[in-house]
Amino acid sequence: MMLKGKRFLITGIADKHSLAMYVAKKVLEFGGSVVCTGLGVSQHHENLSDKAKAFLLSTYTDFQQCVEKELGEDALTRVMDVSLEASMDEFCQDMKKNNIHFDGFLHAIAMDKTIRKKVVKPLLEVSLQEFCETMDVSAYSLIRITKKLSDYEILNPGASICSISYIAAAKVTFHPYRNISIAKAALERITIELADELGRKNGTRVNCVRFSPYMGSKAGNATLNEKDVNYAGEVSPLGNAHPEDLAYDVVNLFRPDAKITGEIRHIDGGYHIMG
Ligand SMILES: NC(=O)c1ccc[n+]([C@@H]2O[C@H](COP(=O)([O-])OP(=O)(O)OC[C@H]3O[C@@H](n4cnc5c(N)ncnc54)[C@H](O)[C@@H]3O)[C@@H](O)[C@H]2O)c1
């Protein structure tokens, strides 16, 4: 029960197959508690089309229902859109009002509109807006969440922050991702800079895990194809890692006494050692 009495913010659950859901379950298994945030309609969205509104409403309903079913009623659910400062303020005010503090959080958020139906746009065709949106949601959000929780004084000293990346942040792999790879590289660099800045400030730890390709989630299914996932599995000495393997590692990083920070580690069956 190494997480007994510890509470974690879990972002990035879309459904029961989300990597974040595996982590949330593991946190509970080890005695911790969770607050889960998902995309949904908030009063801070402006000029939402009917289509976008319907999408956000159904996304949030799916998220809420699966959290209740998989994690039980004690797991709180809230809307949080990391691209909207006001949505984040609202979430933090709500937590503060209810005296809810965190011992860390999982960043499991990525978005890239330049990948459609598994087809990746060449980098030369990526617009500045597409580049910046992907960077904002998938990388800068790590700074934004950390800053908001800190400003509202709801992130305890010595907290553990963890995000999820993949090998494409460093190498062109079996499946070139272009735009999102650059955002993942930024996410990893942000991890290292925050680890130094916050470790010295109050003992906060910041780490990132590069995970194997996984088609079970919505994001994985929308971007990967089976051929590439199988190839990664064949090349990796131990085969592809499973979401459960990732969850164990994150829980280990969440351990209050783990003296680990600034790491970009691999839970990928050894894929990263191959040439
Ligand atoms: N699936 C894989 O193969 C794989 C491999 C390595 C790393 N990852 C990373 O793991 C993380 C989780 O992905 P997943 O595979 O579980 O897919 P997923 O689709 O279950 O999760 C992605 C999440 O990002 C959220 N999100 C997108 N925009 C957001 C915003 N503006 N505000 C708040 N949340 C937003 C979505 O709602 C969704 O819950 C991502 O960072 C992804 O890049 C995935």
Compute the distance between CA of residue 274 and CA of residue 268 in angstroms, rounded to an integer.
11
Q: What is the pLDDT of residue 113?
A: 96
Lowest mean pLDDT among 40-44, 245-249, 256-260: 40-44
Tens-place pLDDT, residues 113-139: 999 988 999 999 999 999 999 999 999
pLDDT band of 174, cuts 50, 70, 90: confident
Kindly give the number of the ligand 1 atom that is closest to the alpha carbon of 20: 16
**Arithmetic mean of pLDDT, 82-111:** 97
Q: Which of 10, 13, 18, 190 to probe ligand 1 with, by most ligand atoms within 8 A of CB?
A: 18
Considering the chain, what percentage of its residues have pLDDT values greater than 70? 100
**Arithmetic mean of pLDDT, 150-170:** 97
Crossing angle between the packed helical segments 50-71 and 19-29, to the nearest 10 degrees: 30
Considering the chain, what percentage of its residues have pLDDT values greater than 90? 89
Hey, is 33 helix, strand or coil? Answer: strand
84 within ligand 1 shell (Cβ under 6 A): no
Compute the distance between CA of residue 101 and CA of residue 115 in angstroms, rounded to an integer.
36
**Arithmetic mean of pLDDT, 74-91:** 94
The tokens describing 25, both together, are 């379950």
Q: Using alpha carbons, list the distances in angstroms from residue 154 to 77, 148, 243, 252.
A: 17, 9, 28, 22
14 within ligand 1 shell (Cβ under 6 A): yes
The tokens describing 217, both together, are 């989630």
One-letter amino acid for residue 4 of the chain? K
**Burial letters 227-240, b for 16+ CB under 10 A, else e:** ebbebbbebbeeeb
**Distance from residue 109's CA to the centre of ligand 1 (Å):** 4
The rounded mean pLDDT for the chain is: 95
135 within ligand 1 shell (Cβ under 6 A): no
Structural domains of the chain sorted by starting position, each given as residue range(s) with its CATH number in brackets: 7-273 (3.40.50.720)
Q: Is the pLDDT of residue 232 over 90?
A: yes
246 within ligand 1 shell (Cβ under 6 A): no
180 within ligand 1 shell (Cβ under 6 A): no
pTM over 0.85: yes
Tens-place pLDDT, residues 134-159: 999 999 999 999 999 999 999 999 99
Helix (H) / strand (E) containing 254: helix 243-254
**Atom 35 of ligand 1: nearest residue by CA position:** 109
**Atom 9 of ligand 1: nearest residue by CA position:** 164
Q: Is the pLDDT of residue 194 over 90?
A: yes
